[in-house]
Amino acid sequence: MNYSKEMVAKAIRIFIAKNGNSDFKGKDLCEILFDIDENPDELDENEVNKCIEETNEIAKEDEQLEPLETLLEENNRLKENQKCKICLDSRADVIFLPCDHMVSCPQCAPALIKCPVCRQTVNGQLKAFFSVTNINV
C-alpha cells in the first residue's frame, strides 16, 4: 500500500499506546495509517511516546494493586470459612465428635443430631478456644 516501514512501525506504536497490547490485525494498522494520512499533524512521535509511558505506568500500578486485591479476597474467604455454616453469623467453634468437623456455633450446635458435613451421628461436642494475639507493628 506504499507505506514505509517507519510509518508501519509508527502505526504499531500508536496501536500499542492506545490499546496497551500488541494484539493487532492488519485492519487496525490500516485504520491508523489512514488517520495519519488524513491528519498528519494530529499525532506526532512525542505524543506516541507519551502515550506509551502512560500505559506503562498504569500497568505498573495494576501490578502493585493486584497482590493487595488478592490478599483482601483471601482474607474475606478465610473469614467466611470461620463462620457457622448454620446461621452464617457467629463463629464456628464447636467440634462434633467423633468426626471432628467444626462447622457450627454454640447456639446452633445443640439442634444438630447429625454432622452437616459427613452426616455421622453426633455423640458429643467440644468447644474450641482460639488463641488471639495482637501484634503491634
Domain 86-137 classification at class level: alpha beta
pLDDT at 124 exceeding the cut of 80: yes
pLDDT for res 1: 73
**DSSP codes, 35-86:** HHHH-TTTS-HHHHHHHHHHHHHHHHHHHHHHHHHHHHHHHHHHHHHTB-TT
- Whole-Å CA distances, 15 to 2, 86, 92, 121, 127: 20, 54, 54, 65, 62
Whole-structure pTM value: 0.46
Q: What ranges do the domains of the chain cover?
A: 5-80, 86-137
Query: Residue 73 — pLDDT band, cuts 50, 70, 90?
Result: confident
pLDDT in tens, 79-117: 888 899 999 999 999 999 999 999 999 999 999 999 999
- Provide the pLDDT confidence category of residue 118 given band limits of 50, 70 and 90: very high
pLDDT digits (tens, 9 = 90+) for 14-66: 887 777 777 888 888 888 888 877 776 655 555 656 665 665 665 565 555 56
pLDDT for position 49: 60
Q: Of 34 and 133, which is predicted with more confidence?
A: 34
Cα 76 vs. chain centroid, distance in angstroms? 13
